[in-house]
Amino acid sequence: MTGAGPARLAAAVFLDRDGVLNRVVPRDGGAGSPRTAAELELVPEAGAAVRRLRAAGYLTLVVTNQPDLARGLLCPQAHATIMERVRAAAQPDDMAACPHDDGHGCRCRKPRPGLLEELAGRWGVDLERSFMVGDGWKDMEAGRAAGCRTILVRTDYNTGVTADAVAGDISAAADLILGRAWEPRN
């Protein structure tokens, strides 16, 4: 009796939200997340890049730290509105946010891989065939910890952060994923 072999798990591109799909907000001498819908500025090429990745067969999954929720600096309604606007513009397959601050010690807050692992389980993702695209060291570390290849969107605030590859923006990151022959991992 023959049967279908085991189903092959999907490959995914995990995307950080702030600094990848939308612009960061200059705040207190650094880069912050939008706290109101008025502060949200989507990256113009984000939707097209996500559509190209999806058309190539990748799941697109957004993973974002949102500690301003725990700090009381971002109200849940504004967070929901921002997430919905990003979802409508970029049209990823799914989105997940960690609402905790560093001191909570949760497993979902990047640099821990919990959000990636949660979505991978939900969507049947092969993490070793997947990518993490982000703009910070926490994104790169979460991607490495989950077993993904990492692509850093280079900015003026992340010099010194290392990744498997570096891109200038989400569109260039999609170009790298779609056009580069990635060596099998040992």
Question: Is 16 labeled as catalytic in the residue annotation?
Answer: yes
Q: What SS3 string covers 10-46?
A: ECEEEECCECCCECCEEECCEEECCCCHHHCCECCCH
Alpha helices of 56-103 — where are they, by DSSP H? 67-70, 76-90
Q: How far apart are CA 183 and CA 186, in angstroms?
A: 9
Question: Is 126 labeled as catalytic in the residue annotation?
Answer: no
CA angle 166, 109, 41 (to 5 degrees): 60
List, by residue number, the catalytic residues: 16, 18
